[in-house]
Amino acid sequence: MNAMDVVGRYFEAWNRHDAALLVATFAPDGTYHDSATERPLRGPAIGAYADTLFTGFPDLRFELAAPAVGDANVITAQWLMRGTNAGPSRAGLPTGRTITLPGVDVITVRDGHVATVDGYFDRQAFVEQLGLQVIVQPYQHGPVTFGSSVHMASGNPARPGAFSLTWIDVHSDAEADQVDADSHAIMPELARMEGFVAFLATRIGRRLCTITAWEGPDQTRQLLRAPAHRVAMNRLFQDGFAVAAQTSVYVPHRADHLWTRCESCGAMLDRTADSSACRCGRAPAARPPMW
């Protein structure tokens, strides 16, 4: 089998969504690396990576944008990746967006198998085509570490009477992505729980934190019975996953008044008791959630 045939079989495996066949196209020590992987992948890790794409893009397909070129051992293939983000992926929950992403693979062939794949594509273009934000910031500057966050409100206007706080330190970005995925799966469970007020998840470096607001401290125990939360806890206590973790429940020491500004005269209004109108006569705007 010449190099072009090997490359053809490689792309056929991608388009058939056959992770096992894809792995079989590689030599036993073959490696795959692209713009989204931290390091070269080998063996089953290649199949697992492909499966995340097949899940996120059920209609995923690679089309060659130009005839592949190369010599007996090294082939360069320009491609277009097309697909609709109809399932969860490394980028998060499905957006329903369709992508057409150009890229290039440099593929080395040895003894009828793929020895190496080095893939190149624009990660920012990929994220933006999904309708997602691209925020450029340092990982760390002096004592300050940067990250990202997501907030989910329940519509429950109650003043929080307790906060459950968790944090997990992970080994790698791949583990952080798994914790993010677990959080996304837990959110719908939270929305159905009695006394749930709001949820905040943050990712700062390789520490992932969640803060969940409740009407009272005993309501936090509902999480222990939630299926997605139990799956996440079981994963945490498997050998090798994460470095450290901590959970706790806090109750407020003092909750001060809620103030909003009058849209007419600019006065600050005490909304704790939700007065009917400002002194200027203007009805106040809708009161924002407490958390």
Nearest to 62 by CA among 12, 110, 1, 97: 12
- Region of residue 92 (left: phi > 0; alpha: psi -120 to 50; beta: else): left
What is the domain partition of the chain in residue ranges?
Answer: 3-129, 142-250
Residue 267 CA to its chain's centroid (Å)? 41
What tokens appear for 180 in the block?
A: 């993010």
206 and 176 in contact (C-beta within 8 Å)?
A: yes
Other C-beta atoms within 10 Å of 171: how many? 12
Q: 142-250, which class in CATH? A: alpha beta
Which residues share a beta bridge with 151?
200
Between the CA of residue 92 and those of 14, 130, 156, 211, what are the distances in Å? 21, 10, 25, 19
* Cα–Cα dist 142/166, whole Å: 25
Give, to the nearest 10 degrees, the angle between helix 173-191 and helix 227-236.
Answer: 160
Residue 212: Cβ-neighbour burial (10 angstroms; 0-12, 13-18, 19+): buried
Express each pLDDT in 48-77 by its tens digit.
999 999 999 999 999 999 999 998 899 999
Most confident of 81-85, 149-153, 251-255: 81-85
CATH code matching the domain that covers 3-129, chosen among 3.10.20.30, 3.10.450.50, 3.30.230.30, 3.40.50.300:
3.10.450.50
22-38 per-position pLDDT tens digit: 999 999 999 999 999 98
Chain segment 231-287, per-residue pLDDT in tens: 999 999 987 899 999 999 999 998 888 889 999 999 998 887 766 788 898 988 888
- What residue type is assigned to position 23 of the chain? V
What is the model's pLDDT at position 275?
A: 65
% of the chain with per-residue pLDDT over 90: 69
- The kind and range of the H/E element at 79 are strand 74-84
Average pLDDT over the chain, rounded to an integer: 92
Cα of first residue to Cα of last residue in the chain, in angstroms, is: 63
Cα–Cα distance between 70 and 159 in angstroms, integer?
Answer: 66
Q: How far apart are CA 247 and CA 201, in angstroms?
A: 14
